[in-house]
């Protein structure tokens, strides 16, 4: 690492720390960011599972976990 890289990183960190201590908006974003991350994961996880389940088939209570487009084929055949 050269001296210019170190001074650039130091300049960025000083600027960032000054911005964070002076700006009320930055403080708000810092306080909200953990909550927003948790809310995003909590929303995305069930949606991803729902999408995954739509590619699996079911016979009675048994769930076949091989990926297939059979359900979508059935729906498109009914619509046509």
Using the 8-state DSSP alphabet, how is residue 1 labeled?
Answer: -
Q: What residue ranges do the domains of the chain occupy?
A: 3-79
Contact 68, 55 (CB under 8 A): yes
pLDDT band at 42 (very low <50, low <70, confident <90, very high): very high
**pLDDT(5) > 80:** no
Give this prediction's pTM. Answer: 0.55
Q: What is the pLDDT confidence band of residue 7, given thresholds at 50, 70 and 90?
A: low
Across the chain, mean pLDDT equals: 82
Per-residue pLDDT, averaged over 54-76, amounts to: 85
Q: Given pLDDT bands bounded at 50, 70 and 90, which one contains residue 1?
A: low
Distance CA 63, CA 52 (A): 12
Cα–Cα distance measured from residue 48 to residue 73, given in angstroms and rounded to the nearest whole number: 21
DSSP letter string over 5-73?
HHHHHHHHHHHHHHHHHH-HHHHHHHHHHHHHHHHHHHHHHHHHHHHHHTTSEEETTEEE-S---HHHH
């Amino acid at each position: 690492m050269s001296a210019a890289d170190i001074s650039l990183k130091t300049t960025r960190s000083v600027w960032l720390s000054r911005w964070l201590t002076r700006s009320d908006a930055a403080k708000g974003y810092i306080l909200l960011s953990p909550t927003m991350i948790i809310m995003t994961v909590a929303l995305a996880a069930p949606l991803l599972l729902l999408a995954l389940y739509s590619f699996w088939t079911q016979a009675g209570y048994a769930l076949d976990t091989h990926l297939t487009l059979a359900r979508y084929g059935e729906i498109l055949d009914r619509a046509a």
